[in-house]
Amino acid sequence: MFRIAPSLLSADFARLGEEVRDVIAGGADLMHFDVMDNHYVPNLTVGPLVCEAIRPHCSVPIDVHLMVKPVDRIIPDFAKAGASIISFHPEASEHVDRTLGLIRESGCKAGLVFNPATPLAWLDHVMDKVDLILIMSVNPGFGGQSFITSALAKVAEARRRIEASGRDIWLEVDGGVKADNIAAIAKAGADTFVAGSAVFGEKDRGGAIRRMREALARA
């Protein structure tokens, strides 16, 4: 069971509602929503107000990827704005266990995000509180970067940890995912794939998603 999550970061922000409906009609399973604060990452995007604005156009779960520091204060706002999943970077939280708890108490699934240089050891004592592990295959902040291949070994290690936990934890990969590398990422153990430029950069978004599914079916 594979999930494709187009990232709105590469959408046309002047017509976001239409863009959301377009990729959902094209087969998106989740809507990946990148939140950047020009502090934790060197770029600035959108917040809860825009999440709330797209919600009526969005019939799939909204997968909020927080690249903000601090994290905790903004969590209830995204829960109210319609987020289903909220993920954050452990380096951006003073108290990772508490932040995971806050997300779940707000009624959302909780995800932990790993930058290319961030060790999976952050999972050691919180595996029971995590619903999703997001492995970054680029440094966060921008769309359209190339896939960092060392992420594959990390995905495989995360998969081993999930198997050992016996829990149903989603394993998502974000950054540089395309139809020509998605099969290798799936083979490493991922089940959920974020794709920004590879989907929104194509005129036919449904076609782009279909090519990814075909590559996954061959994996």
**What are the residues binding ligand DX5 (CB under 6 A)?**
7, 9-10, 32, 34, 65, 138, 140-141, 143-145, 174-177, 194-198
Least distance (Å) from Zn ion to the CB of residue 17? 20
Least distance (Å) from ligand DX5 to the CB of residue 10? 6
34 catalytic residue (yes or no)? yes
Measuring CA to CA, which residue among 77, 71, 68 is closest to residue 43? 68
Burial 29-44 (b: 16+ CB within 10 A, else e): bbbbbbbbbeebbeee
Q: Of ligand DX5, Zn ion, none, which one does residue 189 interact with (CB within 5 to 8 Å by kind)?
A: none
Least distance (Å) from ligand DX5 to the CB of residue 125? 25
CB 7 within 8 A of CB 32: yes
- Quick one: 123 or 198, whose CB is closer to ligand DX5? 198
Task: Transcribe 72-86 into DSSP letters.
Answer: GGGHHHHHHTTEEEE
Tokens of 183: 């099969």
Answer yes or no whether residue 34 interacts with Zn ion by CB under 5 A.
Answer: yes
CB 204 within 8 A of CB 27: no
User: Of the residues 34, 63, 131, 191, which is catalytic?
Assistant: 34
Crossing angle between the packed helical segments 205-218 and 16-25, to the nearest 10 degrees = 40
Answer yes or no whether residue 174 interacts with Zn ion by CB under 5 A.
Answer: yes
Least distance (Å) from Zn ion to the CB of residue 3? 14
63 catalytic residue (yes or no)? no
Per CB under 5 A, residues contacting Zn ion are: 34, 65, 174
